[in-house]
Amino acid sequence: MAGRLQGKAAIVTGAGSGNGRGIAAAFAREGARVLVSDIRLPAAEETAGLIRASGGVCEVVQADVSKRADITGMVDACVAAWGTVHVLVNNVGILVPGGVEEVEEEAWDRVFTANLKSVLFACRAALPHMTRQGSGAIINISSISAIRHLGLNYIAYPTSKAAIDHMTRIMAVQYGPKGIRCNSIQPGFIDTPMVKNQVVGALGAGKGEEEAAYQGYKAKRAAQVPMRRVGTPDDIGNAAVFLASDEASYITGQALTVDGGVTQSVGN
């Protein structure tokens, strides 16, 4: 099925890699015009190249979502290109290790600025356009770490994700009467560069052993998942298409868990 997002103008942050790239590509396949945004311009350009090669329509903007001026510029770029914003996906998320007793204050602030404050200001910039047209869909990318301890020693990342889920619920109630839906997606173990970098770093794999170490990690994770595989950015893209589309017109304030069932399994 194609054309489920025909005519929509969508912004995807962090679209130069992983889940953001998967979401941007899935949106374009369904007929959306996509503003591909990332702090790394070459990465965003690469995503745009993939979209255009498949006949999709997109524009690229470099934006650091930790900077309010960049967020405003990103939303302005979408409006300049296509007149409005129908769909906003706040996908950027960064992770720093360190539990309550270890995490540096600077790292805590960095995570909350990139993961949470960015959502506030991107929504603030997009909402007037959605309000004017009387419709819109906001999708915030959370994590299963918002609802489960995943066995990792970190506190800032999962706490920021839990806050995203609650912010999503609050916004859903406030903006429902204006025709704007707000939902979040909680990905499980998804095979993306972020995970690979973190895992390889954490495992302390020697040079040349990185790939084998990562494959071992993935196999271990897959065995924990009822569907017996780790997820892909396409899995997240497909969920985002649904929530962005009119098929989800009566769904708001929800956190959609996309994790192969791992959070339902005893022992996780």
Ligand X SMILES: NC(=O)c1ccc[n+]([C@@H]2O[C@H](COP(=O)([O-])OP(=O)(O)OC[C@H]3O[C@@H](n4cnc5c(N)ncnc54)[C@H](O)[C@@H]3O)[C@@H](O)[C@H]2O)c1
Beta-sheet strands, E only, within the chain? 9-12, 33-38, 57-62, 87-90, 136-141, 180-187, 255-258
**260 belongs to the binding site for ligand X (CB under 6 A):** no
Q: Does 17 bind ligand X (CB under 6 A)?
A: yes
Q: With contact defined as beta carbons under 8 Å apart, do 143 and 158 qualify?
A: yes
| Least Cβ distance, residue 134 to ligand X (angstroms) | 29
- Rule CB under 6 A: choose which of 60, 116, 141, 239 binds ligand X: 141
Single-letter residue type at 16: G
* Rounded Cα gap, residues 256 and 242, in angstroms: 11
Q: How far is the CB of 185 from ligand X (least distance, A)?
A: 8
Q: Compute, in degrees rounded to 10, the torsion defined by CA atoms 159, 161, 164, 165.
A: -100
User: Any contact of residue 91 with ligand X (CB under 6 A)?
Assistant: yes
Segment interacting with ligand X, rule: CB under 6 A, options 81-89, 183-191, 215-223, 260-268: 183-191
Q: Is 111 exposed, middle or buried (0-12, 13-18, 19+ CB in 10 A)?
A: buried
Q: Which segment (2-10, 86-94, 202-210, 217-225) binds ligand X by CB under 6 A?
A: 86-94
Residue of the chain from 25, 34, 39, 85 that contacts ligand X (CB under 6 A): 39
Q: Give the pairing of strands 57-62 and 180-187.
A: unpaired
**β-strands 57-62, 255-258: how paired?**
unpaired
Give the one residue of 34, 51, 190, 239 binding ligand X; rule: CB under 6 A. 190
Stretch near ligand X under the rule CB under 6 A, chosen from 72-80, 98-106, 187-195, 203-211: 187-195
Enzyme catalytic residues: 157
Q: Which residues contact 32 (CB under 8 A, 6 or more apart)?
A: 5, 6, 7, 8, 9, 10, 86, 87, 244
Q: 78, 87, 114, 122: which one contacts ligand X (CB under 6 A)?
A: 114
Judged by CB, which is closer to ligand X: 74, or 171? 74
- Binding ligand X (rule: CB under 6 A), the pick from 96, 143, 241, 256 is 143
Name the site residues for ligand X (rule: CB under 6 A).
Answer: 13-14, 16-20, 38-40, 43, 63-66, 91-94, 114, 141, 143, 187, 189-190, 192-195
